[in-house]
Structure 1
Amino acid sequence: MDPAELLKDLVRIDSVNPGLVAGSAGETGIADYTSAWLECHGFEVTRLEAEPGRPSVVGVAAGSGGGNSLMFNGHLDTVTLAGYDGDPLDPRVEDGKMFGRGTFDMKAGIAAIMVAAATAAAQPHRGDIIVALVSDEEYASAGTEEVLRHFTADAAIISEPTHEDVVIAHRGFAWFDVTIHGVAAHGSRPDLGIDAIAKAGRFLTGMDQLTRKLAEGTQHPTLKAGNIHASLIRGGEEISSYPAECTISLERRTIPGETADTVEAELRAILDDIAATDAEFQYTITRGLERQPFEVSPEEPIVQALLTAAKNSTGQDLALRGEPFWTDAALMLDSGIPGLLFGVDGGGAHAATEWIELASLRRVTSVLTQTTLNYCQ
């Protein structure tokens, strides 16, 4: 089984996430293809589709019993085809690279785990080998959440592109709306109005000071410090009136040990300090989405199994590191499944040109195959 040929087939299938681009194809076509492929290679396939038109596929190669179960995870959806340089659905091969939308993020990872799982499943194995190909990772991770309501495993590998490093930690995030309240009035009546936008400026200054404090504070060994930024600001009705409200939507990227609770405490400390010196300063805080940071020990059995497989397969000692962005690995860990990220080398995620190194795809597939055989024996 050649993962490069499988990758070509996957790239040709439009699977743009409709949560990102309204009316896009979604995952139905690629779910149909991968379901048929897994069934052809002996997997028992379950199709999960809590939201019509947004399927995830789970293939299970049951073991003989008594071994560790391993769940592979990869997302079927891609970002938009618009703005791509050339035909995004034409898997062009040139100079040892394959180009096309989704090659790097992350259809190469899907091809690698499908071939690795099928190769390992064809040999004796005691533990279950599970391939979870999920919808919606690029938007809300609904696919992985649905899979985890039905399936579990002793460990997981998510084959997001990692340039052949082993990622064992990444940041989380928490979203908040902070609304500063003023009093609406005609622009000619400062005696009646309170300018919510001007008051919000003091909070923005406090956020800037928090940014510097975080950078100078506790550092995670691989993730460094968390960070905060103001993403959106909304306020006012018309130019001739004092604004009654100003809402700042912000994102706080978190490291292990930080949660929405600790972030809210940081924000309230800034806001209460302002209110203590300004009797007109009033605010409310509304929590939005929170995603937890992810971290596993380098001594976790699945980490050691992959490092050993890589050494035996390629002769290389792989680097262990963290990523600044969030992935579905955190959802899996929250469900009691420790894991890691390991995937191909390449570039251009979400960009006008996207590619992977074909030699890297074959190395990753080999390492994943050997890891599966060792872990599920």
Structure 2
Amino acid sequence: MNPRDLLAELIAIDSVNPDLVPGGNGERAVADFCAEWFEANNFEVHRLEQRAGRPSLVAIRKGTGGGRSLMLNGHIDTVGTAGYDGDPLKPEIKDGRMFGRGTFDMKGGVAAMMVAAAKATERPLRGDVIVACVADEEHGSFGTAEVLTAFTADAAIVTEPSHLEVTLAHKGFVWFDVEIEGRAAHGSRPELGVDAIVKAGHFLVALDRLGQDLADGPQHHLLGTGTVHASLINGGEEASTYPSSCKITLERRTVPGEPPQHVEDELTTILDHLTGTVPGFSAKLTRGLARDPFEADPQAAIVRALIANLGEPPVIRAEPFWTDCALLDRAGIPCVLFGVDGAGAHAATEYVDLASLDRLTEVLTGTITDFCG
């Protein structure tokens, strides 16, 4: 079993997330391929598909009993291929790297965990080995959420790319819509109109001030501080009309200790202050998607097992982006993130370092054996 060959086959299968790119192929074809591969390697295969055409796959090699179970988690969807430099579905090897959409993010990690699970279970282990190939991580992560309704484990490893460094934390995020209310009127009648876009400017200034306050505030030892930015703005009807509304969508990146309600209270305080001090200011705040930050216990058994199999002092890192680690952790499954080296996630050129793919497979194989054995 060679992870390089398996990765090449995975890359050749279009699995663009249709929630990101309308008309995207989705995960069905790649899930079918993985199911056949696992069945050929004597795994028990479960297909979960609450959303038609968007399956996740759970493959299990049951242990003999009395051991700890381990879940390996990786997403099989990719971002879009438009604008990719070359053929995104034709894996090419050059200078020790494999190029193609998803090589780095994250079919490299998926190939490594599949091969490692098969190798580690060639001899019976006491604990169950569970491999979750999940849908939709690139958008809403309903794949891992669906898996967690039916499966659990004593620990988990998420094989997102980490440059072979041990990732023990990552940020969360919360999205909000702020709708500033105005009053429509003809542009010649300022006494009748309230300019929602101008009023929105007061909020944007306050939002910039919040960002500065966060940057100057207390820091998490791995992640630094939370951040905030305005993502989208929309308002107005035509040049000769006072705009009746202006909607701003913003994102607040969070660190441990900043739950969604804390962020909502933070923004409510700003809006209440503007309502009380800016004549004619009125706004509505609506919370959107929220995802928790993640922080692993460095002394957790799975963390110690992974580090022991590195055979050298680990580089500990944290990520500014969100991953499915947070969902696993919230479900009570201690986890750690560890994956390949490479570059180009979501970019016009993407590659995985093939030596790191081999090394990841080796480390995962040893960790599975030690943790479940």
Question: TM-score of the superposition, structure 2-length normalised?
Answer: 0.98
Residue 180 of structure 1 aligns to a residue whose secondary structure is: strand
Structure 1 segments (4+ residues) deviating >3 Å: none
- Out of 347, 352, 358, the position equivalent to 2:354 is 358
Post-superposition shift, 1:142? 1.3
Match of 1:344 in 2: 340
SS at match of 1:234: strand
1:210 aligns with 2:210: yes
- Please name the residue that 1:158 is paired with: 158
- The sequence identity of aligned pairs, in percent, is 58
Partner of 1:329: 325
1:370 paired with 2:343, answer no
Deviations 1:158-200 (A, max 9, x none): 1011000011100000011111111111111111111111111
- One-letter amino acid matched to 1:276: G
Give the number of aligned pairs: 373
Distance 1:10 1:280 in 2: 57
Counterpart amino acid of 1:22? Answer: P
Structure 1 partner of 2:58: 58
* Superposed displacement of residue 124, structure 1: 2.3
Which residue pairs with 2:244 in the alignment? 244
**Quick check: 1:287 aligned with 2:274?**
no
DSSP-derived class of the 1:331 partner: helix
Q: Matched residues in 1 for 2:327 and 2:254: separation?
A: 15
1:67 and 2:43 aligned: no
One-letter code aligned to 1:177 = D
Amino acid in the other structure paired with 2:338: F
Task: For residue 20 of structure 1, report the CA deviation from its aligned partner.
Answer: 1.4
Output the CA distance in 2 between the equivalents of 1:342 and 1:234. Answer: 40
After superposition, the C-alpha distances for 1:208-237 in whole angstroms (9 at most, x for unaligned) are 101110000010011000000001111111
Q: How does 1:19-168 map to 2 (within 5 A)?
A: 19-168=19-168
> Following the alignment from structure 2 to structure 1, what is the Cα–Cα distance between the partners of residues 24 and 18?
5
Distance in 2 (alpha carbons) for counterparts of 1:46 and 1:278: 58
- In the alignment, structure 1 residue 297 sits paired with structure 2 residue 293: no
Work out the CA distance in 1 between the residues paired with 2:53 and 2:84: 25
- Over aligned residues, Cα RMSD in angstroms? 0.9
- What SS does structure 2 have at the residue aligned with 1:363? helix
Please report how far the alpha carbon of residue 278 of structure 1 lies from its aligned counterpart in structure 2 after TM superposition.
2.6
Letter in 1 for 2:130: I
Aligned ranges for residues 256-275 of structure 1 at < 5 Å?
A: 256-275=256-275
Q: Does 1:219 align with 2:215?
A: no
Structure 1: runs of 5 or more not aligned: none
Query: Deviations for 1:259-281, whole angstroms, at most 9, x for unmatched residues?
Result: 22111111122112222223421
CA shift, 1:32, in A, is 0.8
Matched, 1:232 2:232: yes
Inter-partner Cα distance in structure 2 for 1:133 and 1:321: 24
| Secondary structure of 1:115's aligned partner | helix
Using the alignment, how far apart are the partners of 1:279 and 1:4 within structure 2? 64
Structure 2, unpaired ranges of 5+ = none
TM-score (norm 1): 0.97
SS in structure 2 of the partner of residue 188 of structure 1: coil
Instruction: Judge which range, 236-245 or 107-116, deviates more.
Output: 236-245
Deviation at 1:340, TM superposition (A): 1.0
Letter in 2 for 1:259: P
Tell me which amino acid in the other structure corresponds to 1:107: K
Partner secondary structure for residue 246 of structure 2: strand
Residues 44-100 of structure 1: CA deviation (Å, up to 9, x unaligned): 000111111111110000011111100001111111121111111111111111111
